[in-house]
Amino acid sequence: MSDAAGRASRRGFLAGTSLGAAALTLSAVPEALAQQSPRPLPAQGQFPVKVISSGNGLEATKKAYEMIVAGADPLDACVAGVTIVEDDPKDNSVGYGGLPNEDGVVELDAAVMHGPTHQCGAVASLRNVKNPAQVARLVLKQTDHVLLVGEGALQFARAQGFPEENLLTEESRKIWLYWRQTRGPDDDWLPPPDDELDPAVKSFFGRPTGTIHCAGMNANGDVSCVTSTSGLAFKLAGRVGDSPIIGAGLYCDNEIGSCGSTGRGEANLQNLSSMAAVELMRSGMPPKEAGLEILRRVAQHTVPRLRDAEGRPTFDLQFYLIAKDGSHAGVAMWGPKKFAITDAAGSRLEEGASLYTKG
């Protein structure tokens, strides 16, 4: 067999196995749910306007809802909502004040997706610019690309007129420094005496994976979504999680709905969870059931070192879903967890469903 023929044969084999794997995945969907028919959709102009977000995004949903009702494009409205959280120095999982990588440098990731055009844009490992969601929207609008990273993302942001600034607030610097000082007994760094430790640091400590996701739908049923994050605290420099990856950190299809995530990015990347959830909704699954089914898959694929004594994942992962018929859900690996929503009934935090419940 020639090299060319061999390569063609291997490509054929890989294509066949990929299709087989896809069929196997679809066949794993519970039969009763897979056979559901999508519910009837509202008439044009009568879809329920709503905005859904992670629990840290209540103000974001309010802002986005007001803009959508006033006629703004859902993507522009969601970016404006997320900007509020990116600008907030007290939210150390997003934008300004986000917790840095292990070297003490804040690196931000964000992605946007526009339902009506199915276009998307993203940036990753962006330094010195506190509003990565705005930069990601410009990647969508003013480039022929989807994802810009690192120095290239920064150069693009500079060209667009974004100011550069130190994103490390005094509080996030102190949190990072304490983490650095307590990494291990063989390190030459020493922590301060307990009575000199900043109360904000003392009350904080852990290793958060926070993020904000925000999705909105207007009266015409157009859906768009945004995800923004400073990523895993104290990560390796250059680490990129799920947030800027289309299909993982977020995904929308204007005929079906949207899904976005917060939590352990690596688990989400390994399952392309947001796209998978939207595809389950395409088959007729309601948002809550679609989200929980994806969490079951994530749990099934979790490696032993990330499981507890009962075999359950030790990490958390949340999804926020809107279906085209106006139904919505927030689901979490571990609950109870709240998510934010603003619709005709007002702005509020709702308790979502969960795969496991903490005792």
Active site residues: 211
- Total Cβ atoms within 10 A of residue 298: 23
Strands across the sheet containing 346-351: 147-149, 119-126, 108-114, 223-229, 212-217, 50-54, 338-343, 346-351
**323 alpha-carbon distance from chain centroid:** 17
Answer for the pair 24, 274: CB distance below 8 angstroms, yes or no. Answer: no
Helices 132-142 and 74-86: angle between axes, nearest 10 degrees:
150
Between CA 102 and CA 177 the distance in angstroms is 10
Give, as one character, the DSSP assignment of residue 351. E
Alpha helices (H) in the chain, listed in sequence order: 3-27, 31-34, 58-69, 74-86, 132-142, 150-159, 170-181, 199-204, 265-269, 273-282, 287-301
